[in-house]
């Protein structure tokens, strides 16, 4: 393109030179003007050539994108509430519920048979506690009722059951039988000898906070902070994290609080 412009400029100079005889006498009598015109054209061509010359742009060094490391999971502080039951709007959303009714913001079991509900939350941690505030209102003799907090066996995790059995009420007990608290695993053969032994436990008619603590391969049952049963597995390193089920039979219970917490 530069050569074309130069050729065009020369042609225009030649034409103007040929026509100089017919143009202004001033131009014909002043050869200095012609020299200046040629110099201006040559300067313009040089500038155009410099402006259109190709330049090589050195590739910029690529800057690696900053890497943001994934956050390292941190354990939650002990006592963190993972779940808290709210029955103010009934039992909607609670799966597997039967034999329960909501009375003044708390739930009450039906004594006609069995009652159960599945907690609509499954802890993602292996060490956790389930707290339930319970009042035993009445049991159905002569066989006695029970209540249990349970988590079924799952792959690589033994299940557990923790609660109070043999609730026969205040009727006379000629054989000296007492209700018993107990924790046992599923399957029971996975417990070592001496684990899961039942203990006498009289809940009476007052309110109690029962708490199941699951730590690694062991589950413990506490009543108002006092341990009343435990069991451990010799087959799995951790125990099941649910689904967690609360069940009862032949007993009327009031339940006015339920929480799941970290340990």
Q: Is the pLDDT of residue 7 over 70?
A: no
- pLDDT band with cut points at 50, 70 and 90 for residue 39: low
Mean pLDDT of 86-110: 88
The larger pLDDT score, comparing residue 58 to residue 196, is at 196
- pLDDT band with cut points at 50, 70 and 90 for residue 170: low
What pLDDT is recorded for position 35? 47
What pLDDT is recorded for position 46? 52
- CATH number for 81-169+177-262: choose from 2.40.110.10, 3.90.930.12, 2.60.120.560, 2.40.240.10: 2.60.120.560
**What residue spans define the domains of the chain?**
2-50, 81-169+177-262
Under a CB-based contact definition with an 8 Å cutoff, are residues 158 and 193 in contact? Answer: no
């Amino acid at each position: 393109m530069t050569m074309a412009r130069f050729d065009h400029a020369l042609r225009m100079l030649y034409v103007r030179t040929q026509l100089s005889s017919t143009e202004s006498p001033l131009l014909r009598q002043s050869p200095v003007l012609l020299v200046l015109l040629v110099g201006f054209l040559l300067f313009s061509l040089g500038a155009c050539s410099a402006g259109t010359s190709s330049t090589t742009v050195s590739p910029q060094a690529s800057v690696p994108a900053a890497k943001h490391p994934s956050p390292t999971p941190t354990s939650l502080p002990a006592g963190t509430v993972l779940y808290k039951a709210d029955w103010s709007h009934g039992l909607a959303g609670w799966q597997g519920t039967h034999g329960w009714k909501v009375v003044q913001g708390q739930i009450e079991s039906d004594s006609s048979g069995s009652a159960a509900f599945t907690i609509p939350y499954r802890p993602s941690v292996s060490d956790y506690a389930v707290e339930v505030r319970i009042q035993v209102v009445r049991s159905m003799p002569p066989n006695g009722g029970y209540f249990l907090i349970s988590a079924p066996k799952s792959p690589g995790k033994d299940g557990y059951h923790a609660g109070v059995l043999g609730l026969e009420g205040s009727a006379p007990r000629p054989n000296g039988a007492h209700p018993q608290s107990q924790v046992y695993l599923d399957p029971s053969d996975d417990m070592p000898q001496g684990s899961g032994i039942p203990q006498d436990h009289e809940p009476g008619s007052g309110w109690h906070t029962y708490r199941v603590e699951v730590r690694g391969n062991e589950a413990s049952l506490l009543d108002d902070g006092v341990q009343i049963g435990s069991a451990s597995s010799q087959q799995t390193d951790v125990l099941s994290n649910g689904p967690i089920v609360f069940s009862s039979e032949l007993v009327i219970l009031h339940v006015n609080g339920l929480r799941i917490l970290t340990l």
